Amino acid sequence: MLNYFNQLFNGDLGIGGWVGAALIFAFTAWMFIHAIRNGEYIWAVFIFFFSGLSALLYFFLVYRASGGMGNPLSGFELPGAADRRQIKKLEADIHHLDKPHMHLQLADIYFNQGRLDEAEASYRAAYERDPNDDDIRAHYGNCLARRGRPQEALPLLQSVCAQNPKHDYGYTLMSLAETQAATGQVDAALATWRQVLSLYGYPRARVQFADLLIQKKEYAEARKSLEEVINDAPYATKFQRKREKVWFDRAKAALRSIPG
């Protein structure tokens, strides 16, 4: 950023140079502020002293991966992450070997990036090659649910959860509960959320469990579930507060909606 201050205030730029330098400075400042707000202090130092190149690297390596471009899956993430080199490697491996787990890994990367069209295609390819793999069925079902096709997702998720309710640390069971609710099976969804909460204390589970209870006018139990989320929030780690913010906010809003 120091370089741009010098360029802007030395007065030796033409009009085009002024506009270009101002745009680069604005982009760099944007990335610098984002890094500070998200605790990426090492990146902030590099952006401040090395300007444009560091800001550009931060944009592709951190900002986009963090959901800064509006990833629609905030609060629904699957475990794992990836970068462009990993995608290229998997594409090459699939070209030569075409194994189901390779399609699954590629699909998970696309899913985490919010690229649901590519994710679904890769999950389908994995499923066609191995329809009995729990990870493939669960992640494929989860993707279909996120794409607004719960009827297709339901049998995939049910088959996995029937054998292993703890699959993916309860994330598959949560996806099943959400899918049941999306297909109008409120009582089944409530039963599944109770099963999740008997194993885990995820805010995602507590809030959506409370939402269904509010629909059924079971306010006392809903209030208790939401208050647990809100009371636990101050004791969560910084990482947890950032990851679960959508659910903490929803808990507060839902609590305000309860009569009395």
Each residue of 21-43: pLDDT tens digit? 777 878 888 888 888 877 777 88
pLDDT tens-place string over residues 223-246: 999 999 999 999 988 888 889 999
Average pLDDT, stretch 162-191? 97
Statement: residue 72 has pLDDT above 80 = no
Q: How far apart are CA 157 and CA 177, in angstroms?
A: 9
| 3-class DSSP state of 183 | coil
Residue 74 has pLDDT above 50, yes or no: no
Query: What pLDDT, on the 0 to 100 scale, is given for residue 5?
Result: 47
- Domain coordinates of the chain in residue numbers? 2-63
Q: Can you tell me the distance from the alpha carbon of 195 to that of 185, in angstroms, rounded to the nearest whole number?
A: 15
Cα–Cα dist 251/134, whole Å: 32
Query: What pTM was computed for the model?
Result: 0.69
For 194-202, which contacts have Cβ atoms below 8 Å and span 24 or more sequence positions?
Answer: 195/165, 196/170, 199/165, 199/166, 199/170, 199/173, 200/169, 200/170, 201/228, 201/232, 202/170, 202/174
CA gap 243, 75 in Å, rounded: 7
Q: Dihedral sign, CA of 39, 29, 56, 108? A: positive
- Please provide the average confidence, as pLDDT, over all residues in the chain: 86
**3 token code pair:** 């370089």
Task: Kindly state the percentage of the chain with pLDDT values over 70.
Answer: 84
Tell me how far apart the alpha carbons of residues 247 and 235 are, in angstroms, rounded to a whole number: 15
